[in-house]
Structure formats: C-alpha cells, structure tokens
Amino acid sequence: MTAHGRFHAALPTDLDNQDIAELPRWARVAFAARCARRVQAVFTAAWPEAPQEHIAAVEAAISIAEAASVGVRPSAKDVVYEAQRACEAAAVSERRAAEAAAEAAANAAESVEAITESFMTCASLGAATRAAEAIGFRGAVMTGIRRDFERLKKWAQKEAWTDETRVSREFFGPLWLEGEEPDWSKVKLVSKTGEEGEETKNIPTEEEIAQLPRWARVAFAARCARRVQPIFSAAWPDADEWHVQRIEQAISIAEDAAFQARSATIAPGIDNVKEAVVAALTSASAAVAAADAAYGAWLAATTAQTAADTVAYVAADAARAAKGASFEREVVSGIRRDFARLKEMAEREAWTDETPVLSEFFGPLWLEGEPERWPFVKARRAKFYEQPQLEIYIDPGNAPKETIQEVFEALSDLHVAAGGLGLEFVNDGNFIYAMEKVPK
Amino acid sequence: MRSLPSEIGELISKYIGKALGGPTFIARSIAVATLSVAKSLLGMFGEGFVTDIECIKESFLRKMKAEADSAVGEAQKKMAEAAEAANRANLPKRKDAIARTEQELAQAKVAKTQAEGEAIRKDAETRRLQAIAEAKARLLEALGKLRQEGGDIFFDRDNLRKILEVGFPPENYKNNSESDSDD
C-alpha cells in the first residue's frame, strides 16, 4: 500500500487518500468500482440523449473493475479508452454531471491496471462526488459511499485482508437501502457551461499563444509544466528517482532557456525525457500528462523555433494532468493568470523575440496558497526552496537611484560570491512605512 | 526623504530578496549561498555596520498609502527603478555563475585521483571565501554612500535567524550563527 501526502480537493471532507490507501489493494479497486456504480445512473439521467456506445462503455468500465476485484483479470486498457471517450463526448455535449460519472467509471477501470491504483481509486471517488454534486444528490450518494468504505474497512481489519484478498460481488449488498436511492428522474440537467466549464475553456489557444514573443512562449510552457509537476509524483508515487529527476531537469532547462533567451543545448541524459513519459504510461494518466507537459516544455526550449502549437499542447497536457487529479479549476485559472500576465507585460514593454523571461517573473504559483491537499512532493527540493526570503528595509534618504541600485547589486553580488545565482528584489507591496522618529 | 512632508518623517520601504532559481545541479549551492548571505549580515550587526529594523520601535512606524503624497510616490518610484535596474544587471552575472559552477563540476569529475579532486575543491572554496570577502567590502562601501545621502538600510534579525534555522540542522545552526551574531 502506498503512503504519501494527503491530497484531492474533490474528496468528501471526511475521507481522503490516506484513508483509502489503508485498504488492501483489491478492496480499493472494489471501492472504486462501487463509487462509479453509485453514480452510473447519472450518466444517462444528465445526458438522456447519450449514444448507446458511450452508455455501454461506462458499464463495461465499471464491470471490469468489479471483475478484477473478484479475481478475473482481463486487460482494461481498451475499456478505459472507451470510457474516456464517453467522458470526452459528455464534455463536448456540455453535460458536466455525465462527464464526471463517465470519469468515475474510467478511473475505476484504470485502477485495475495502474500501478498506483490507490490514486485512481481516489480519482474515481472524486469524480463520483462531482457527479453527485452536479445533479444535487450529494447527500444520498455520499452516505452510500461512506457506508461502502466503512464496510470494507471493517472486514479488511476483521479478517486481516492482504493485498491478495479478493472481494466478492455480493460483499457490498444492495446499492441503496430502502428509500435511499435518489429519484433520478428529478435530476437537474446541469450544463457544463457552469463555473467549472468556463474555467476549462480558458486554456489559451494556439492562436493566442502565437501572439507571445518566442521566449515568453517558452517561459509559459515551462510554467505550465512546473504548475502540475507535483501531480507526477502524487499520481505515481512509485516512480523511480531517475524519472522524477528527468521531469525536474526538463522543466529547469526550459526555464533557463527562457531566462537566457537561448535555445537549450541537449545535456547528457536529458535527451531521453521522453523515456520518463513512456515509463509513466504504466501509471495513472495524470502522471503521463504531467510528464508530457514537462517533455513539451523541454521540446519548446530546445527547438530552433518554438512553435505555438507545441506550447498549446503543453498547456493542454497540464490541464489534463490537473483534471486527472481533480484540480482542473484551480490549475486552469492559474494557467490563464500566467498567460494574461505575460501578454500584458509583453505588450506594455514591447517585448521582442529576443527578450528573456525569468521564471520568477510569474510570482508565486498559487495566489492564495496551494489548494487544499494539493499533491505534495516531499524532500528533494522542498527544504531549500522553502527557505524564508531575505527581508530588506530601505530608507532612500536623498540618495539617487544609482546609489540604491548599488546597494541592491552589492547584496546580490554577495549571494553570487557565496555560490548562488544572485537575488531578485521585489517590493513587498503591502506596506510603506513612514517613520515618525528614529531613536538615535 | 527630506522632501517629504514633515509630519511623515522618513520613508522606509520593505523589499524582499528572493534567491534566483536555476538548474537542479546548482540548487544546493543556491540554498547555501542564501545561508551565507544571512550569516554575513548577522555578523555585520555585531560589527555595527547594519541596523536591526527592531531598533525602530513599532510605534514609530505606521502604514500609509503610496499614492497619498507625491513625494512618497517619487521615492517609491526611485526605489522601484533601482531594484529593477539591479535585477537587470544581475542577469549576466547569473549566467556567468551557472557557467562557473558547471566548469567546477566538470573539473571535479575529471579529477584522476582523490587528492586531485580534493585540491580542486579546496581551490574553489578558497576562491569562494575570497569572493565573499570582496563582496562584503563592496556592500559596506555601497552602504556608506547611502548613509552619506541620508539614507539607511535595515534588516530583520529574526528573519535572518529563521533563514539559518531552516538551512542548518539545529546543532549546526547554533555553531554557525553564534560566532557571528552580537548576542
């Protein structure tokens, strides 16, 4: 069983990924299937005109997860693909609840084969929650889900289930207790053009990205990849260090190329970033998308001309990774904010294709702090990057700009002399202090 | 700010010095460099070269809006331009620093013997200490100029200590900071 940071904003508040990780493996898969089964009716209720092939795909995805939990192991890959198609079709038809229901089914099927089925189980639960919320039946659905979880937990402890223990089809009993089943005929047909839908559509298009100067495009690609980088490790906690490093290196190279306004050279070992993407294919799709975003950013930095479509793909990959982890809204709005900032500055300061862009240009990744339970990459970089920043208070007196600049530069030079890359100075922004008296 | 209205007194603006990021291979030295800067500044408190912001009592500080007065706005603008110019000036230095670190790493890798590798590392460390000493001297010179013009710079001792606490394990932090601070 895996144990990693708590995450997943869309999970019910009293149940999170660590609770789920405590279940044995096949209990998790059974739970994922059960979550999807609970909201399966939402698919057709919210999308009455759904094509039969998509309805069948959702059923097949749930069935395969149920079959796997009792010991039958057919390949789930094709089924996952079909369920994802159903999910996309619902999205195109602007049926948000149906999309979430199909997503729950696809995630359940994916949990069968994914090395990180714990993550996919969480993702299935998250999608089921969203489906229930979208139709206004959260209470009934969550009560059932909670009951399923408690039952699994109780029996797993009582009978000392292991990761090999299968879960019989009859284990859970009826899906709904008497009078508990929601009246699906009263489902509110919620269009996907609600809040979340608007966010999703906000990913900058290829045409918009093409308006940015070259290094701004690279910086944007790097930023998108950086934003979803933690999803890689969260969705694939068993990824080996080599792959994690390739992802980090790919993003750093793109950031650095944008900063130096120079195409990145292909450093030894980095030319195979693609290997990390391929390796991630054995894990959750969110990890693949996060790795793909890093690969795309690296590609944007190493090719002679950074094509807007490459960068648009990176943004789309980042959104896909976020969606897989149920953080789409937060990530997409962050991506949009970064893009708007770049565009505004590029226009205002008449940036050219030669203008460098610092990764620090964008400011913090999250304006109001990380989303709750945001995937968290422990150790590696965190300790150093969490260092408090240097606070400097300046009284300029009558000194000219040049003298103040000298002080800033001297501080930065001290950092460089000590082996760093210098300091960037930003005004705190919040406070201007007027001192009435200085005690001597 | 002599040009400010008398009821305002002197203007102090707070800036944040953020360590610039870079490729992974340099991440550790960036972190260590930030510690070195904090350590140097703590040492400079003891020598009386820099002032702790705590020396200015909270009661003498008040928040005000930048746009409240044109003189304040001017001073703000001047500092913002100075910071921006310093940030720009640092760009080529950053490139050089990356190249230098790459070169040092490459040299260390090709060292044929342990002794040779050790010698390369010692040489790099000697150069680093010398560069720090020179940079400190330049900082003091710049501070001197600022003071001659009626300005001043302040640091927050607690902030510097916090940087050291995060960077070093507690026992090392004690060894590294006590000798440099003035308390």
Residue A320 lies in a domain: yes
How far from A242 is each of A245, A247, A269, B125, CA to CA, in Å?
Answer: 5, 9, 10, 30
Q: In the structure, what pLDDT confidence band is assigned to residue A342 with cuts at 50, 70 and 90?
A: very high
Query: Scanning the structure block, which residue is given the tokens 């039946």?
Result: A137
User: What is the distance in angstroms between the Cα of A15 and the nearest Cα belonging to chain B?
Assistant: 33
* Phi, psi of A395, deg, nearest 5: -105, 110
The pLDDT tens digits for A345-364 are 899 889 998 888 876 788 88
d(CA A148, CA A31): 7
- ipTM of the assembly? 0.86
Does residue A116 surpass a pLDDT of 50? yes
Residue A2 lies in a domain: no
Does residue B171 surpass a pLDDT of 60? no
Determine the length of chain B: 183
Decide if B33 and A252 are in contact by the 8 Å CB cutoff: no
A209 lies in the same domain as A347: yes
Strand, coil or helix: A191 = strand
Mode of pairing for the β-strands spanning B61-63 and B10-19: unpaired
* Phi, psi of A273, deg, nearest 5: -60, -35
The pLDDT tens digits for A25-76 are 889 999 999 999 999 999 988 888 889 889 999 999 998 888 888 877 667 7
Closest CA to A85 of A134, A49, A51, A135: A51
Q: In the structure, what pLDDT confidence band is assigned to residue A413 with cuts at 50, 70 and 90?
A: very high
Q: Residue B117: exposed, middle, or buried by beta-carbon count in 10 A (0-12, 13-18, 19+)?
A: middle
Does residue A113 surpass a pLDDT of 70? yes
- CB under 8 Å to B151, separation ≥6 — which residues? A394, A395, A396, A397, A398, A399, A403, A404
A208 lies in the same domain as A297: yes
Strand, coil or helix: A390 = strand
Decide if B90 and A409 are in contact by the 8 Å CB cutoff: yes
Closest CA to A417 of B109, B124, B44: B124
Q: In the structure, what pLDDT confidence band is assigned to residue A387 with cuts at 50, 70 and 90?
A: low
- pLDDT of res. B61: 60
* Phi, psi of A68, deg, nearest 5: -65, -35
Strand, coil or helix: A430 = strand
- pLDDT of res. A181: 82
Does residue B92 surpass a pLDDT of 90? no
pLDDT (mean) for A294-319 = 83
Residue A440's domain comprises 388-440
pLDDT averaged over every residue in chain A: 78
Q: Residue B137: exposed, middle, or buried by beta-carbon count in 10 A (0-12, 13-18, 19+)?
A: exposed
d(CA A19, CA A118): 10
Chain A interface disruption, residue of B37, B162, B168, B176, most A CBs within 10 A = B37
Neighbours of B164 (CB within 10 A): 22
Chain A interface disruption, residue of B1, B18, B155, B173, most A CBs within 10 A = B18
d(CA A194, CA A190): 8
Which chain A residue has its CA at the smallest distance from B152's CA?
A395
Decide if A419 and B98 are in contact by the 8 Å CB cutoff: no
The answer to whether A43 and A118 have CB atoms below 8 angstroms apart is: no
pLDDT (mean) for A82-108 = 83
Query: Scanning the structure block, which residue is given the tokens 């708007």?
Result: A340
Mode of pairing for the β-strands spanning A423-435 and B10-19: antiparallel
Does residue A381 surpass a pLDDT of 50? no
d(CA B85, CA A425): 10
Query: Scanning the structure block, which residue is given the tokens 């949009």?
Result: A336
- pLDDT of res. A55: 92
Neighbours of A163 (CB within 10 A): 11
Which chain A residue has its CA at the smallest distance from B154's CA?
A393
Domain residue extents for chain B: 24-178
- pLDDT of res. A117: 59
Give the whole-number percent of chain A exceeding pLDDT 70.
77
Strand, coil or helix: B7 = coil
Name the domain count of chain A: 3
Of residues B21 and A317, more confidence is placed in A317
pLDDT averaged over every residue in chain B: 73
- pLDDT of res. A3: 30
Residue A430 lies in a domain: yes
HSE value, Cβ hemisphere, 13 Å, CA-based, for B102: 10
- pLDDT of res. A219: 94
User: What is the distance in angstroms between the Cα of A332 and the nearest Cα belonging to chain B?
Assistant: 24
Which chain B residue has its CA at the smallest distance from A388's CA?
B163
Query: Scanning the structure block, which residue is given the tokens 């001792």?
Result: B157
Residue B55: DSSP 8-state: G
A183 lies in the same domain as A208: no
The answer to whether A215 and A263 have CB atoms below 8 angstroms apart is: no
A142 lies in the same domain as A235: no
For chain A, count helices (H), then strands (E).
18, 2
pLDDT (mean) for B91-102 = 78
Q: Which of A418, A421, A423 sits opposite B128 (nearest CB)?
A: A418
A181 lies in the same domain as A208: no
HSE value, Cβ hemisphere, 13 Å, CA-based, for A375: 29
Give the whole-number percent of chain B exceeding pLDDT 90.
8
- pLDDT of res. A112: 82
Does residue B144 surpass a pLDDT of 60? yes
Decide if B72 and A432 are in contact by the 8 Å CB cutoff: yes
Does residue A249 surpass a pLDDT of 70? yes
User: What is the distance in angstroms between the Cα of A189 and the nearest Cα belonging to chain B?
Assistant: 48
A171 lies in the same domain as A225: no
- pLDDT of res. A431: 58
Q: In the structure, what pLDDT confidence band is assigned to residue B10 with cuts at 50, 70 and 90?
A: low
pLDDT (mean) for B16-24 = 74
Torsion (CA) B163, B26, A221, B88 in degrees, nearest 10:
70
- pLDDT of res. A217: 93
- pLDDT of res. B95: 74
- pLDDT of res. B141: 93
The pLDDT tens digits for A388-409 are 688 888 888 889 999 999 999 9
Decide if A424 and B18 are in contact by the 8 Å CB cutoff: yes
Strand, coil or helix: A247 = helix
A436 lies in the same domain as A347: no
Does residue A190 surpass a pLDDT of 50? no
How far from A334 is each of A44, A114, A256, A380, CA to CA, in Å?
Answer: 33, 29, 21, 24
Last residue of a domain, one of A157, A178, A193: A193
Neighbours of A188 (CB within 10 A): 11
Decide if B16 and A425 are in contact by the 8 Å CB cutoff: yes
Residue A161 lies in a domain: yes
Of residues B27 and B90, more confidence is placed in B90
Backbone φ/ψ region at B48: left (φ over 0), alpha (ψ -120 to 50), beta: left
- pLDDT of res. A4: 31
The answer to whether A306 and A300 have CB atoms below 8 angstroms apart is: yes
Residue type, position A340, single letter? A
Does residue A439 surpass a pLDDT of 70? no
Residue A185: DSSP 8-state: G
Q: Bridge-partner residues for A119, per DSSP?
A: none
Does residue B129 surpass a pLDDT of 80? yes
A303 lies in the same domain as A322: yes
A272 lies in the same domain as A299: yes
Residue A5 lies in a domain: no
- Pull the structure tokens for residue B25: 């291979």
Neighbours of B18 (CB within 10 A): 17
- pLDDT of res. A129: 80
The answer to whether A246 and A290 have CB atoms below 8 angstroms apart is: no
Of residues B70 and A314, more confidence is placed in A314
Decide if A398 and B13 are in contact by the 8 Å CB cutoff: no
Of residues B20 and B168, more confidence is placed in B20
Decide if A421 and B57 are in contact by the 8 Å CB cutoff: no
Which chain B residue has its CA at the smallest distance from A248's CA?
B24
Residues from chain B that touch A434, judged by Cβ atoms under 8 A, are 4, 8-12, 61-62, 64, 72
Residue A7 lies in a domain: no
Decide if B151 and A403 are in contact by the 8 Å CB cutoff: yes
d(CA A317, CA A322): 8
Residues from chain B that touch A425, judged by Cβ atoms under 8 A, are 15-18, 83, 86-87
Of residues B99 and A108, more confidence is placed in A108
Share of chain A residues as helix, strand and coil, in percent rounded to the nearest 5? 60, 5, 35
- pLDDT of res. A385: 42
- pTM value? 0.42
Which chain A residue has its CA at the smallest distance from B165's CA?
A387
